């Protein structure tokens, strides 16, 4: 028997990011994300006033997808090269904690979308993933998956 999804609907605040934006395909994301984050980490190493305060974040703005690959940071800054300030959405969101390999994230994401549909929640567009601390044991990796919900849903 399949374990029931542990989904919660919560109010989320925006998280400030230093990020690189790329229009891509979902299939290409695993092969390009490290390079995008390398730009962000190079930028952060060159800074004294803006520092990393949290985790890596992948924000999908639309179905193309327009991907925003970023790192949670302490403050605002001027765009430098490909790196620019960004934020995760704020508002009501459905959240699911994915535990396991990153390669299984598409399945968790699809399950969360299905859960939203089955429970009468309309998706507002953006979705994002917040990656927990690295672990060599892929079965222990934790990633929070979020979908912004339309305010018109129950």
pTM of the model: 0.93
Calpha distance 4→61 (Å, rounded): 28
Name the 3-class secondary structure at 83. Answer: strand
CATH of 7-11+91-149, one of 1.10.10.60, 3.40.190.10, 3.20.80.10, 3.40.50.620: 3.20.80.10
Calpha distance 49→45 (Å, rounded): 11
Tokens linked to 107: 């399945």
Domain residue ranges of the chain, discontinuous segments joined by +: 7-11+91-149, 14-87
- Cis peptide leading into 117, omega within 30 of 0? no
Dump pLDDT digits (tens) for 84-104: 999 999 999 999 999 999 999
Dump pLDDT digits (tens) for 110-140: 999 999 999 999 999 999 999 999 999 999 9
């Amino acid at each position: 028997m399949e374990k029931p999804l542990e989904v919660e609907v919560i109010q989320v605040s925006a998280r400030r990011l230093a990020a690189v934006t790329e229009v891509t395909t979902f299939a290409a994301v695993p092969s390009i994300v490290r390079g995008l984050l390398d730009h962000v980490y190079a930028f952060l190493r060159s800074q004294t006033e803006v520092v990393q305060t949290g985790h890596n974040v992948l924000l999908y703005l639309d179905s193309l997808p327009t991907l925003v690959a970023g790192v949670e940071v302490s403050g605002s800054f001027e765009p430098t090269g490909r790196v620019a300030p960004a934020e995760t959405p704020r508002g009501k969101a459905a959240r699911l904690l994915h535990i396991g390999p990153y390669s299984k994230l598409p399945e968790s994401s699809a399950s969360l979308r299905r859960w939203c549909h089955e429970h009468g929640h309309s998706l507002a567009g953006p979705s994002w993933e917040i990656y927990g601390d690295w672990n060599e044991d892929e079965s222990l990796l934790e990633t929070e998956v979020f979908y912004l919900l339309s305010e018109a849903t129950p």
